[in-house]
Amino acid sequence: MVWKNQDTCAIVGVGATDYYRRGQSWPRTINDMAGEAILNACADAGIDVKQIDGFAYYSTAGAGYLDKFDTASLMETLGIPHVGFSATLTSGGGGCPGAIGLATAGLMNEDCTYTVTLMALQQLPQHRLGVVFGASAPNPENSFLQPSGLVGPGHLMSVLARRHMHLYGTQPEAFREVVQATRANTHNRPKAVRRNSLSNEEYNGSPMLADPLRRLDFCLETDGAVAVITTTMDRARDCRHKPAVVHGVTHGGQREWGRAFAWMGMPDPHFASSGHQYVADRLWEQTGLSAGDMDVALIYDHFSCMVLMQLEDYGFCAKGEGSDYVLSGKLRYDATTRGGTHGGVPVNTHGGNLNEAYIIGMTHIVEGVEQVRGTAINQVKDAEFALVTGGPASLPVSGMVLRRD
């Protein structure tokens, strides 16, 4: 099965603000940061902001889950005269690549010509994503989560990580290797929040927040904004940079894993997984590719254990073999080779959510675009295909393959 919109659209512009540690973006506002990111993306694409006529959001247009994007406000702020498409996907960070698929739907229906997907995040002292469930009003799901001490996403993911360890003998050192391997990619990135190398002793000394996950297994809590612009291929080739062709994109999931962020009643093997198997199978069917064809993988890493489980779900290794795969060093980026070290595919060459910044997955799309353009800071030689994943942060989740033009 070939995706109907395969190779018809491309990402042509990427833009971002600086990345701030949680709460340090104040007194900036969500619209201020979103506007800057959009203007930077327009400059990158070589278009005028008034040419934007579409918005494709995710996380139900939630700006960091704490505010809501309003298309009318952004139009007024930026002077955009009209829009023909404004739509949003459900789920949280699981929708970031999926929102590019949403953009292609509007573009191929000729509702719009240049579509923006963005995310902005601002966590003031009273609003923290790390304890979002504990701070929420009681409801049927929270009536289980809150008394159980599952007050944030990391606590829920820790239960899945422990199950994976129980079923497959996964070693905690594998989680450490995910953090260290991706941290090694930020030393030359000026905007990265965590840039220092990470020793075993420093990792092991990190507080245990939700056994078996330590603080450094949790993604950063950062403020900032990222925007990307998608258009059709006929327009894309007139833009400033080489287009990052949208070769395939899927968004969805299975009911069994969908229980993860509410009831924790998933059966095995879904319990010890990232919930990406369904979208991964669809993505490879759409594109005719496999994990072995990828030159770089930008894996949604809100928690280190979820990187390991996504590697299994996308077929980089077999189910239950993620620990050995990671510990063999196959995630590591090596600038002297086409791919990673030890025969692997380099993962999160930008440092990811764990080390560069957490803007709910959008930094991964930026890195994927720059890799297939050939302009990334940690460039994979001759990169043709980049995998970008979104979630798990409840269902649906998503995956996307970007192709070099």
Task: Give mean pLDDT, residues 365-390.
Answer: 97
Task: From 394, 301, 387, select the one nearest 60 (Cα to Cα).
Answer: 394
CA 251/CA 187 separation, integer angstroms: 33
Whether pLDDT at 126 is above 70: no
What pLDDT is stored for residue 341 in this prediction?
57
Task: From 47, 133, 53, select the one nearest 92 (Cα to Cα).
Answer: 133
Lowest-confidence region among 60-74, 224-238, 243-257, 297-311: 60-74
What's the domain count of the chain?
1
**pLDDT band for position 134 (cuts 50, 70, 90):** low
Place of tokens 């099965």: 1
pTM of the model: 0.95
What pLDDT is stored for residue 354 in this prediction?
97
Task: Give mean pLDDT, residues 129-153.
Answer: 69
Q: Is 150 a domain residue?
A: no
Contact between residue 229 and residue 369 where contact means Cβ atoms under 8 Å apart: no
- Tell me the residue type at 3: W
Q: Is 209 a domain residue?
A: no
Q: Is 136 a domain residue?
A: no
With H, G, I as helix, E, B as strand and everything else as coil, classify residue 204.
helix
- What's the whole-number average pLDDT of the chain? 91
CATH of the domain at 319: 3.40.47.10
Estimate to the nearest angstrom the gap between the alpha carbon of 30 and the chain centroid. Answer: 19
What pLDDT is stored for residue 109 in this prediction?
96
Two structure tokens written together for 271: 């319990």
Q: Is 333 exposed, middle or buried (0-12, 13-18, 19+ CB in 10 A)?
A: buried
Q: Is 52 a domain residue?
A: yes
What pLDDT is stored for residue 320 in this prediction?
97
Whether pLDDT at 133 is above 70: no
Q: Is 149 a domain residue?
A: no
Whether pLDDT at 149 is above 80: no
Whether pLDDT at 64 is above 80: no
What pLDDT is stored for residue 305 in this prediction?
97
Place of tokens 């890493």: 301
What pLDDT is stored for residue 115 in this prediction?
98
Which residue range forms the structural domain that includes residue 314?
A: 9-126+219-404
Task: Give mean pLDDT, residues 350-371.
Answer: 97
Taking only the tens place, the pLDDT of each residue in 174-219 is 999 999 999 999 999 999 999 999 999 999 999 999 999 999 999 9
Task: Give mean pLDDT, residues 308-315.
Answer: 97
Distances (CA, A) of 222 to 66, 127, 171, 181, 354: 13, 12, 29, 21, 10
Q: Is 211 a domain residue?
A: no
CA 96/CA 388 separation, integer angstroms: 9
Q: Is 182 a domain residue?
A: no
With H, G, I as helix, E, B as strand and everything else as coil, classify residue 88.
strand
What pLDDT is stored for residue 136 in this prediction?
67
Q: Is the peptide bond before 190 cis (omega within 30 degrees of 0)?
A: no
CB 383: neighbour CB atoms within 10 A?
24
Residue 277 phi, psi dihedral angles, 5° rounding: -55, -45
